[in-house]
């Protein structure tokens, strides 16, 4: 079984000790990573004891061991899911051939670019969230934030391992660049726009982990299908960690809804002004945050029609999430009916794979909505939360800047401009949410805008001291 060697400087299940050159190169990168973490990781909590889970092996019962750790001492390691014997390429023009254990020369630069783009999002999100600890609604939430942060750090390790192990000198240079770009930096920003916006309130954090980490899930799922086997194995293990990030988002928004419903009941009203005066998030305001984060995460899938994604699929670099659920894995003869502002267009399926992925992502996003709406319905209210139309507020692709309502209706541009802040947070909305963000750090206490979780972490009580502040 693939258990790790914990006496190594870098915990790993890839036999690093047998490859001295690679081990030395990664040990050289390690202090740069720690330095980055100290300067751009969570601000101010580096000496706190945090109750964190650490991966100690990739099998079902060993991958999550819990204990109090100071974050800079977290054991970031390199873990690949166990190999599948005689794994074959599952899609594209090379379907059925053996998966690659090395990078084929002709795909070297494309694969490197894909790995770098994925890798760049991991430290970016840590940077975006670095100030959130100061306004945590509870110790339970603070711990979850830091758990997400250290795991995004580990995901960076996962991508840096691939760059060092399979891409030679170029890979080592890219690994340095991953620490040199910074979220929001004027000269050296992160690669994708969404990852350059600061996340300065916890409602945004819950939305980010619900929508944007879920984009991460779909990217990882499509890489898990890759013909490049080390990438596939790396991403398969990352997915087990990613699930917790979306749990934080789904339960976080669920707790906001629960608290709002309690306040509505206490006050006997659904008047947003009264709910806000009582220090809770009214449901229409929550809807604006969902509209904002869902639409910006949809852009991460890229343009509806893309020759890059066609080539990546045909060449076996990147599959569809859950490729095995489809019947046709080659797609040379398939077509896709694409909705554009000009009407329905018939495009080759291979070119529409970003859209295919976006559709399955949106289906996955519905799960939380159903749960939150059930709570609203049980409380006897007619209001329902909804995902915005995928044509709403898009900044790339066929629907770029189209004046479309969250319900998907095309309206005159002036009307769209006039009504924009009925649909996404206006500055006054954001200021109100910021005003709610007061730090609560007594064990078991919660800020007034969010209900306590149903259970604690790893069977511990909710009032456990998940972070011991020093």
CA distance 420 to 185: 28
Which residues share a beta bridge with 78? 12
Q: How far is the CB of 155 from Fe ion (least distance, A)?
A: 4
Pick the closer one to Fe ion by CB: 25 or 124.
Answer: 124
Nearest to 379 by CA among 268, 290, 252: 268
Residue indicated by tokens 């490729």: 323
In 379-440, alpha helices (H): 413-423, 427-436
- What mask, x for binding Fe ion by CB under 5 A, covers residues 405 to 444? ----------------------------------------
No. of H helices and E strands in the chain?
13, 5
Report the nearest approach of Fe ion to the CB of residue 121 (Å).
7
- Determine which residue in the list 120, 141, 174, 213 makes contact with Fe ion, applying CB under 5 A: 213
Near Fe ion in 115-134, by CB under 5 A: 122
250 forms part of the interface with Fe ion (CB under 5 A): no
Q: Nearer Cβ to Fe ion, position 11 or 216?
A: 216
DSSP code, position 208: I
Q: Which stretch binds Fe ion (CB under 5 A): 68-76, 152-160, 355-363, 405-413?
A: 152-160
Binding-site size, Fe ion (CB under 5 A): 7
146 phi and psi angles, rounded to 5 deg: -70, -35
Q: Which of residues 353-372 bind Fe ion (CB under 5 A)?
A: none
For residues 286 and 256, the answer to whether their CB atoms sit within 8 Å is yes
Q: At its nearest, how many Å lie between Fe ion and the CB of residue 292?
A: 19
Instruction: Look at residue 81 and give its three-state secondary structure.
Output: coil
164 binds Fe ion (CB under 5 A): no
Site string for Fe ion, 377-406 (x = CB under 5 A): ------------------------------
Nearer to Fe ion, 244 or 430 (CB): 244
| Collapsed DSSP state (helix, strand, coil) of residue 142 | helix
Is 213 or 282 the residue whose CB approaches Fe ion more closely?
A: 213
Gyration radius of the chain over CA positions:
23
Q: Which stretch binds Fe ion (CB under 5 A): 148-156, 173-181, 284-292, 312-320?
A: 148-156
Instruction: Please choose, out of 49-57, 213-221, 265-273, 444-452, the segment that lies near Fe ion by the rule CB under 5 A.
Output: 213-221
Alpha-carbon gap, residue 12 to 243, rounded angstroms: 21
Q: How far is the CB of 123 from Fe ion (least distance, A)?
A: 10
Distance CA 49, CA 72 (A): 10
From residue 6, give the alpha-carbon distance in Å to each of 12, 37, 66, 75, 76. Answer: 8, 21, 15, 9, 11
Does 155 sit near Fe ion (CB under 5 A)?
yes
List the one residue from 181, 236, 244, 245 that touches Fe ion (CB under 5 A). Answer: 245
Looking at beta carbons only, is 153 or 425 nearer to Fe ion? 153
Of the ranges 18-26, 96-104, 155-163, 292-300, which one interacts with Fe ion (CB under 5 A)? 155-163
Q: Is 46 exposed, middle or buried (0-12, 13-18, 19+ CB in 10 A)?
A: middle
Residue 394: CB minimum distance to Fe ion, A: 23
Query: At closest approach, how far in Å is the CB of 35 from Fe ion?
Result: 21
CA distance 391 to 380: 31
Minimum gap (Å) between residue 451 Cβ and Fe ion? 24
Distance CA 85, CA 340 (A): 44
Whole-angstrom distance, CA of residue 183 vs CA of residue 207: 18
In the complex, which residues of this chain contact Fe ion (CB under 5 A)? 122, 152, 155, 213, 216, 242, 245
């Amino acid at each position: 079984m693939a258990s790790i060697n914990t006496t190594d400087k870098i915990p790993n299940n890839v036999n690093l000790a047998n490859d001295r050159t690679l081990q030395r190169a990664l040990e050289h990168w390690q202090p740069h990573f720690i330095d980055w973490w100290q300067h751009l990781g969570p601000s101010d909590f580096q000496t706190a004891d945090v109750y964190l889970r650490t991966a100690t092996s990739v099998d079902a019962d060993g991958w999550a061991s819990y204990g109090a750790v100071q974050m800079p001492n977290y054991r970031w390691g390199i873990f690949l899911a166990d190999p599948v014997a005689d794994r074959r390429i599952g899609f594209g023009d090379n379907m059925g051939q053996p998966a690659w254990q090395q990078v084929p020369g002709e795909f070297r630069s494309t694969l490197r670019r894909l790995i770098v783009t994925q890798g760049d999002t991991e430290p970016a999100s840590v940077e975006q969230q670095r100030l959130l600890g100061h306004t945590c609604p509870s110790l339970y939430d603070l711990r979850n934030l830091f758990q997400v942060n250290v795991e995004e750090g580990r995901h960076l390790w996962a991508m840096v391992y691939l760059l060092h192990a399979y891409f030679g000198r170029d890979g080592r240079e890219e690994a340095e660049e991953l620490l040199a770009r910074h979220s929001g930096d004027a000269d050296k920003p992160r690669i994708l726009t969404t990852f350059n916006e600061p996340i300065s309130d916890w409602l945004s954090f819950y939305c980010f982990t619900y929508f944007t980490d879920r984009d991460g899930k779909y990217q990882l799922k499509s890489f898990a299908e890759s013909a490049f086997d080390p990438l596939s194995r790396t991403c398969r293990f990352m997915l087990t960690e990613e699930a917790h990030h979306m749990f934080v988002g789904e339960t976080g928004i669920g707790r906001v809804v629960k608290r709002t419903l309690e306040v509505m009941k206490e006050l006997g009203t659904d008047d947003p002004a009264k709910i806000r005066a009582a220090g809770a998030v009214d449901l229409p305001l929550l809807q604006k945050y969902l509209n904002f984060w869902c639409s910006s995460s949809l852009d991460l899938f890229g343009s509806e029609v893309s020759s890059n994604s066609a080539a990546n699929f045909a060449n076996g670099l990147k599959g569809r999430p859950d490729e095995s659920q489809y019947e046709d894995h080659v797609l040379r003869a398939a077509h896709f009916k694409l909705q554009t502002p000009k009407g329905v267009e018939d495009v080759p399926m291979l070119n529409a794979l970003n859209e295919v992925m976006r559709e399955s992502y949106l289906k996955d996003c519905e799960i939380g909505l159903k749960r939150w709406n059930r709570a609203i319905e049980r409380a006897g209210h007619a209001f329902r939360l909804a995902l915005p139309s995928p044509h709403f507020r898009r900044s790339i692709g066929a629907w770029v800047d189209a004046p479309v309502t969250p319900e998907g209706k095309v309206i005159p541009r002036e009307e769209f401009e006039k009504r924009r802040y009925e649909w996404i947070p206006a500055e006054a909305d954001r200021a109100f949410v910021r005003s709610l963000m007061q730090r609560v750090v007594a064990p078991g206490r919660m800020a007034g805008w969010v209900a306590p979780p149903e259970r604690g972490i790893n069977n511990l009580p909710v009032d456990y001291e998940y972070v011991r502040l020093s």
